[in-house]
Structure 1
Amino acid sequence: MPNGDDLDARFNELVAQIDEDERRRMRAAASRGARAPRSDKATRPRRAGRGLLAAGLVAAVIGGATVIVAARPDLLTPQVGSPGPVPEETQPVMAAPEAAGVETATPEPTTADPFAGSPAEKYAEGAAGFVLPKAKALGGLSKKDVAKALDRTRKLMTAAFLDRKTLMGGKPKAFMKLLDREQRVWFQKYLDLKKRAKDDFDSRGWVTSFAPKTAQLSTDVIKVKGRTTVAKARKYGRSGAEVKLNYLVVYAVNRPGQPTTTIRLVTHRVGSVFVYREAGELVLWLKDWSKTSTPVRCDVGDFFIHPAYDDSAPDAVKPSGPPSNPYDLDDDKHGKKDDKDRCWASDPT
């Protein structure tokens, strides 16, 4: 068995076999990998993620001789009838071992498993992710009343965020059926307004709907994570209970008929439901149901979701602020009045 000195000598001899032309080709390949994204795409979160990944690969190539050898294992293992050097266009670029404390980029979604490698991979599927607290008597309501209110809230969330017809931009009939009669009339009146002032409300924002012909679900699986809380409350001069919801709902979507454009789209849904009794009836009154979504276009003024695909045209409105983590359940960008129409920068999904 050769000793350490022999191995070192053999190593140096093999590295020396890499002539200057080969080194130039490897440096050229590294430079191509490091090429910065075009400026018109730099603010798009998914582009930014790819830029960081490219920089990491370049660091792996120029980091030292050991990485060069990793990219050319044939130098250490002589083979009979070896076809010779791999053409420049097909040479693999090997990433260096991950540095301690450095996060790796989230893998791009695939059509086979679009959630693989993302935080959503471990989320529950569909309505199973809407976790409810144990019912108890609160605010003058019986335990049975609270249990009924929690169950109806879960049905409201399912209809608002998971109903296929609603998701594809159709009329949210399943959601409307669950609303209190008075609120149902109001919801229908403000749904998909054809003409509205800049500050007018559109009730479409209370449900998740992709703009027609902009998206189709890449899979029947929708990932859900979050929490529901309930506490006694007094609102509108009445005593009762308030149910609060805070959920991440993650979809895999693609351009209609183009499965290779699949992206993960994360929505953060928050809202509250005030529960009380009036004239012998249990009333659920929805308040402040809102959402943030990413990656979406910022330059569209309606209340539908317009996904931003990797090949989408540059957005006329640029996101603002430092990028936020779309999977952060406690990131609150919903409640501030001056931020309600703001387009925030986001990390890749």
Structure 2
Amino acid sequence: MSHGDDLDERFNELISQMDKEEQRTMRAAAKRAAGTARPERLPAYVPERRPARRNTRGRLVLGAVAALIVAGGVIVTHRPEVLAPGAAALSGAVPEETTPVVVEPPEELVTGDLRTNQGDPFAGSQAEKWAAGIDGFVMPKAKAMGGLSKKDVAKGLERTRDLLAAAHLDRKTLLGGTPDAFARLLDRAQRGWFRDGLDDKERSTRTTVTSFAPKTAELATDVIKVRGRTTLGTFEEDGLRGVQAKLNYLVVYAVQRPGQPATVERIVIHFTGATRLQRLDGRLAVWVTDWGASATPARCDVVDGFVHPFYDDSPPDKVDTSGPPTDPYDLDDEPAHDGSCEASQGT
């Protein structure tokens, strides 16, 4: 065997222990040294993986109530057809001046690596200085309006706040359990319908609450960050009148794969919807309508009512994202609630 062949064999044995990129570099250098180098092809461009924003549609929409005067008595008839999936939002809401309380984000966006801040998984994010838990669901001051007394409005706003907390903060619900806390707070005319729709695999009523798919996530911290606003207006519909509370909130969780703290990530839920406060058959009723949310980052190829987190090590999503990347922390960029999958910036 010649010396040249021996050197080639030793060289090939050496680079076989290196990764492919190192091998390519070493071979290119050897060719250049021998005067036979050819231009190396650059590796194909691999675009940066951007998280997906999954927009879900809440099935639980307002059931309008028609009041019928019959023989001197009042009969309240519920119209179930407006509870059907995809029903349009009721018209007739009259805006009224309010001063909603909004928890402002930090003046500057501080960048940082989530995994270097596991003592505070919100450090380095816009949510770092937001209110925690139910304190973030700040309601406007109650006042008499829409034919309701100040006391009724205050009571309705308190129930609205409790509904928000049950939908987005209840631990059992978050970890994929039955959302009993939310169901108990619903008006009795909506409660059964909500529970019956939880097992609907195509259009589950579970999209009205935040539930991570069982065994896909656990909370990395008990702290949940919240920012948003509730604005008040009045409505008149089918002979009824009352107060509409329009809801727009961002809820940010730190989650991880169960038992795997190295996978911790922030998930931003952008929730919008409304409650309607009205007098029905002598009682104050609080109806929820048009509740839905987006989740970032979340899988778009699983549609079962649950939020399926998309981790850095998750397999590629089977659904392509659309549109330019959105800012998941933008309160004014309200989700479409149409089941679409949008590209998103990081959380």
TM-score by length of 2: 0.69
The alpha-carbon deviation at position 301 of structure 1 amounts to 1.5
Displacement of 1:332: 2.1
- Give the match for residue 139 of structure 2: 132
Q: What is the aligned partner in structure 2 of residue 324 from structure 1?
A: 326
Higher relative contact order (CA 8 A, sep 6+): 2
Unpaired segments ≥5 residues, structure 2: 1-24, 26-41, 53-107
In the alignment, which of 111, 114, 119 is matched to residue 118 of structure 2? 111
Question: CA distance change for structure 1 residues 232 and 37 in 2, over 3 Å: closer, same or farther?
Answer: farther
Secondary structure of 1:305's partner? coil
1:343 maps to amino acid = C
Give the drift of 1:44.
Answer: 2.8
What's the counterpart of residue 192 of structure 1? 199
Distance in 2 between the 1:38 and 1:261 partners?
26
Contact 2:111 2:125 in 1 (8 A): no
Q: Give the deviation of 1:272 after TM superposition.
A: 0.4
Shift of residue 232, structure 1, vs aligned partner: 1.4
Q: How far apart, CA to CA, are the structure 2 residues paired with 1:263 and 1:155? A: 27
The C-alpha deviation readout for 1:181-221, integer Å capped at 9, x for no partner, is 11001101111214x4xxxx321000000000000000000
Percentage identity across aligned positions? 56
Q: Which residue of 2 aligns with 1:278?
A: 280
Question: Does 2:232 correspond to 1:226?
Answer: no
Aligned to 1:262: 264
How far apart in 2 are the matches of 1:217 and 1:273? Answer: 28
Gaps of 5+ in 1: 1-27, 29-34, 47-101
Structure with more helix by fraction: 1
CA contact (8 A) 1:217 1:252 kept: yes
SS in 1 for 2:343: strand
Aligned residue among 206, 209, 214 for 1:207: 209
Partner deviation per Cα, 1:224-273 (whole Å, 9 max, x = no partner): 00001111112343100001110000000000000110000000000101
CA distance in 1, matches of 2:320, 2:226: 28
Q: Which letter maps to 2:216? A: T
Distance 2:255 2:346 in 1: 15
Matched residue, 1:79? none
Which amino acid counterpart does residue 150 of structure 1 have in structure 2? L
Deviation at 1:312, TM superposition (A): 0.6
Name the aligned partner's letter for residue 247 of structure 2: L
Q: Give the Cα–Cα distance (whole angstroms) in 2 for the partners of residues 170 and 268 of structure 1.
A: 21
Q: Could you tell me which of 291, 300, 306 is aligned with 2:293? A: 291
Deviation for aligned residue 1:178? 0.5
Supply the distance in 2 between the matched residues of 1:162 and 1:113 (Cα, whole angstroms): 18
1:144 is matched with: 151
| Deviation of the 1:104 alpha carbon | 7.3
The CA distance in 1 between the partners of 2:267 and 2:118, in whole Å, is: 14
Which residue identity does 2:341 align to in structure 1? C
The one-letter amino acid paired with 1:147 is A
Matches of 2:284 and 2:251, distance apart in 1:
28
Say whether the 8 Å CA contact 2:132–2:226 is kept in structure 1.
yes
1:86 alignment counterpart: none
Q: Any residues of structure 2 matched to 1:237-248 within 5 Å, and which?
A: 237-248=239-250
Q: Cα offset for 1:36?
A: 8.5
Q: Distance in 2 between matches of 1:313 and 1:111?
A: 24
For 2:181, the equivalent position in structure 1 comes to: 174
The separation in 1 between residues aligned to 2:134 and 2:142, in whole angstroms, is 18
Please state if 1:252 is matched with 2:250.
no
Q: Give 1:61's aligned residue.
A: none
- Aligned match of 1:69: none
What letter is aligned with 1:176? A
CA drift at 1:42: 3.4
- Moved segments of 4+, more than 6 Å: 35-38
Across the aligned residues of Structure 1 and Structure 2, the Cα RMSD in angstroms comes to 2.2
Aligned residues: 251
> Contact conserved, 2:230 with 2:248, CA < 8 A, in 1?
yes
Rounded to whole Å, the distance in 2 between the matches of 1:164 and 1:117 is 25
Deviation at 1:103, TM superposition (A): 8.0
What's the CA shift string for 1:145-196, capped at 9, x where partnerless? Answer: 00000000000000000000000000000000000111001101111214x4
Q: Distance in 2 between matches of 1:108 and 1:115?
A: 7
Q: Shift of the alpha carbon at 1:141?
A: 0.3
The residue type paired with residue 257 of structure 2 is: R
Query: What's the counterpart of residue 38 of structure 2?
Result: none
